[in-house]
Amino acid sequence: MEMMSALLRRPAAASILSLVGVLAFYVIFGGVDLGKLLNAASWVNYAARIGIVAIPVGLLMVSGEIDISIGAMIPAGAMSAAIITGYYEFPMIFGILGAIGIGVMVGLINGILAVRTTVPTLIITLATLVAMQGVVLAGSKLLTGSASVPLTAPGWAKTIFGQLMFGGSHQVIIVWWVIFAVVFWFVLHQTRYGNWIFAMGGDKESARNAGIPVNRMTIVLFVLTATSASFVGMCHAILFNSAQVSGGMNDIFNIIVSVVVGGVLLTGGFGSVPGVFVGTLTFAIVIKGIDFTTIDRNWSNLIIGVMLLTAVAMNESFRKLALTAVLGKKENAGDSVVAVAKNN
Amino acid sequence: MKLSNILVAAATAAVVGTTSMAADIFVVGGKPDDPFWSRVKKGAEDAGRVAEAQGGSVTWLGPQNYDNLGPDAAELIRQAIDQGADAIVGPNWVPEAMDPAFQAVVDAGIPLVIYNAGGIEAADRLGAMNYVGAVDYKSGYAGGEYLAKAGHTNGACVNTLPGAANIEAFCNGFNDGMSDNSGTGSVLQLPATAFGDSTAVAQAVRAHLLQNPDINAMFAIGDQDTNATISGIQQAGKTGSVHVCGMNFNDSILANIQSGTQACAIDQQGYQQGFFAVSILNNHVMYGTTIPTREILTGPGVVDASNVDLVIAGVEAGAR
């Protein structure tokens, strides 16, 4: 019982239960063949695509900030690689560096604006989102005269960034996702940097007074989110031999929803990498799993909405459980969140 | 319905689904809430009644949105393979992104029909059984030709899906149809997020018309975009002086053709595309039959004031 309640208090608990709930719903009401679903690649590929971005976004949200410019950075990364290597025929390595470089650049802009101004990061990154949409469309039309650019990547780049593994349908990006998850799990939960991030999300002023380099950490986190998004775009361009200006716009919502289903508090200070990992899996199964059901596709958006609401509601009650259990009383002050989160 | 009944139904569905002689056909297409694609879906499902009567099934796979069209559709094709499809129908929207996925279908020995986009060239290149659909270039050409012959010789094609090969072909065809009939054509390029967003399309059309007052003909690539284009023309105060043709039609477009606010609609008869693609594959999987006629054309057909009443009768009869 003690073990059970300890498990339920972890930030990942709700997302794991959501995952089980979603699978049960699809099996019971949708007639899903579980073996077929688990063997299929579509939802894992999709989870990896949004998951690589969701993990750094999760960290950023734990620190109390948000980045929606990722929506423009995915096509920006794809188009950088495709224009540099596909259109101008420079070696692939320059295309890769260009895609990573544009991520670092926009991340720096976001981060520096976030620490130098008092404008909320939602607004700052909304501005860079829209601005980058313009840069990508106008830049592509200016340089190539087209809004869609083909790209033929060399074998080694395909092997590392954009192949289908074992001759099946699973993309190599899944491996990258797992690597990202392990590295970020280590950083967030095993190093002092992780503690700093939780502390920043709890109370920025206190964190600064405690000697945490809040500004530097914020900028680094913004660089990580923007760069991971441009990295995903680049991988997709290499895998699908083409890039188009507006790919990935809808991913903003999907990524943030995955992070929230994964148990990260929108206001910061609470969350975990395993939670975001499972949250992304859950969201991917909700979105892609509907195709494996006998449910009429016309209902799919309604089901997705209801499932997400249920998952987030579960998160809410588990978080209350976690906070009250640790404190031993009903009230919980804002900065106690830090103490709880550190226990993970 | 009791839980036990649901479980029995699910179990029955599972058993029926694994019967070896029946055809489980997967159709990759557009969003089900897209008016044009809902018609294709209906055609596929109507043909699927025969498959269902034989114990088979028809499953529609559509993307969540059109932001990432090529890769998303390629993913859906691979998903159909993973789901154990006996036959697959798919449009070749973005060849660079989708060809490898179609190749995987053919390599797996699954019968394939390309429909809606790509043409017989795509079917030949990929080793598909056939192509069912309109030829996009000819559809656009028919629109350009119609408007130019009516004396509206300065045309603009509203492209809301940049990068999609079939949409580029519409606009190229439209421009050629214009210039072959002593007119001139151009393209109004919008970001892909504008597709299906009537306000964004209408605003862009209005601004474009105010900047280019000489334009007197426009071509839109879908029925929602056509309505939005007409709204943009109204907002620019150019009703009656700028004439519109558009791909596909629905009830409101037919009413607009009757009342004269729209000059013509180019019909590619989406219902037929879904219906014939599924029929060809079902009969092939069940009985080994083929259709030796290569390239089953379902368009272009021009709907204008001269035949609109017949078309409306066809809509009421459920045939169009």
Q: Which residue of A has its CA nearest to B187?
A: A146
pLDDT (0 to 100) of residue B5:
52
Looking at the DSSP bridge assignments, the partners of residue B90 are B114
A103 touches A231 (CB < 8 A): yes
Locate A334 and state its tokens: 């804002």
Which of B60, B82, B189 has the CB atom closest to A147's CB atom? B189
**Is B103 strand, coil or helix?**
helix
pLDDT bracket for residue A263 (50, 70, 90): confident
H or E stretch including B144? Answer: helix B136-149
Which amino acid would we find at residue B258? Q
Q: Kindly state the average pLDDT of the residues B130-134.
A: 92
Whether B3-134+269-289 shares its CATH topology with B136-267 is answered: yes
ipTM rounded to 2 decimals? 0.71
pLDDT at residue A340 above 50? Answer: no
pLDDT at position B268 is 84
Note the pLDDT of residue A142.
86
Q: Which residues of B touch A46 (CB under 8 A)?
A: 75
Q: Where are the domains of chain B?
A: 3-134+269-289, 136-267
Q: Angle B285-B290-B294 (CA atoms, 0-180°, nearest 5)?
A: 130
Residue A280, C-beta contacts closer than 8 angstroms, at least 6 positions apart:
A47, A50, A51, A54, A258, A262
- Residues of A near B (Cβ–Cβ under 8 Å) read 27-29, 31, 33, 36, 39-42, 45-46, 133, 137, 141, 146-148, 150-151, 169, 236, 239-242, 244-250, 287-288, 291-292, 294, 297-298
CA A167 to centroid of chain Cα atoms: 27
Q: Is B78 in contact with B98 (CB distance < 8 Å)?
A: no
Among A19-23, A189-193, A276-280, the least confident range: A19-23
pLDDT on residue A231 = 96
Query: At residue A172, what is the residue type?
Result: V
Per DSSP, which regions of B119-206 are E strands? 130-133, 154-159, 184-189
| Per-residue confidence (pLDDT) for residue A224, from 0 to 100 | 97
Share of chain A above pLDDT 70, in %: 89
Average the pLDDT over each of A252-266, A314-328, B168-182, B304-318 and give the range with the smallest value: A314-328
pLDDT interval class at A338 (50, 70, 90): very low
The CATH code of domain B136-267 reads 3.40.50.2300
pLDDT at residue B319, as a whole number: 60
Determine, for residues A298 and B32 on separate chains, whether the beta-carbon distance falls below 8 Å. Answer: yes
Whether A234 and A240 have beta carbons less than 8 Å apart is answered as no
* pLDDT at A129 exceeding the cut of 90: yes
B313 to chain A nearest CA, in Å?
27
Name which of B76, B83, B168, B186 to mutate to probe chain A: the one with the most chain A Cβ atoms within 10 A of its Cβ: B83
Q: What's the 3-state SS for B24-44?
A: EEEEECCCCCCHHHHHHHHHH
Section B102-127 average pLDDT? 93
- Share above pLDDT 70 across residues of chain B, in percent, rounded to a whole number: 92
- pLDDT reading at B4 higher than 70: no
CB contact under 8 A, A246 and B193: yes
A58-100 confidence digits (pLDDT tens):
999 999 999 999 999 999 999 999 999 999 999 999 999 999 9
Domains of chain A listed by start with CATH number: 2-342 (1.10.3470)
Q: What is the pLDDT of residues B13-26, one digit of tens each?
A: 444 444 457 899 99
CA distance A98 to B259: 54
Q: How confident is the model at residue B50 (pLDDT cuts 50, 70, 90)?
A: very high
Residues of B in contact with A248 (CB under 8 A): 67-68
Contacts of A249 in chain B (CB under 8 A): 67, 192-193
Best CA proximity match to A264, nearest among A316, A328, A195: A316
pLDDT, chain B, mean: 87
pLDDT at A319: 74
Does domain B3-134+269-289 sit in CATH 3.40.50.10070?
Answer: no
Inspect the interface and report whether the beta carbons of A31 and B84 lie closer than 8 Å. Answer: no
Question: What tokens appear for B19 in the block?
Answer: 């019967």
User: Average pLDDT in the A256-271 region?
Assistant: 86
Instruction: Choose among B229, B228, B268, B230: nearest CA to B248.
Output: B268
CA-to-CA distance for B222 and B166, rounded, in angstroms? 12
At residue A28, the pLDDT reads 86
Q: How far apart are CA B21 and CA A286, in angstroms?
A: 31
Per-residue pLDDT for A343 more than 80? no
Q: What is the pLDDT of residues A156-178, one digit of tens each?
A: 998 899 888 876 778 899 999 99
Can you tell me the mean pLDDT for A282-287?
Answer: 86
What are the tens digits of pLDDT across the range A299-335?
777 877 887 788 778 777 777 777 776 554 444 444 4
What pLDDT shows up at residue A140? 87
| Strongest mean pLDDT among A138-142, A234-238, B192-196 | A234-238
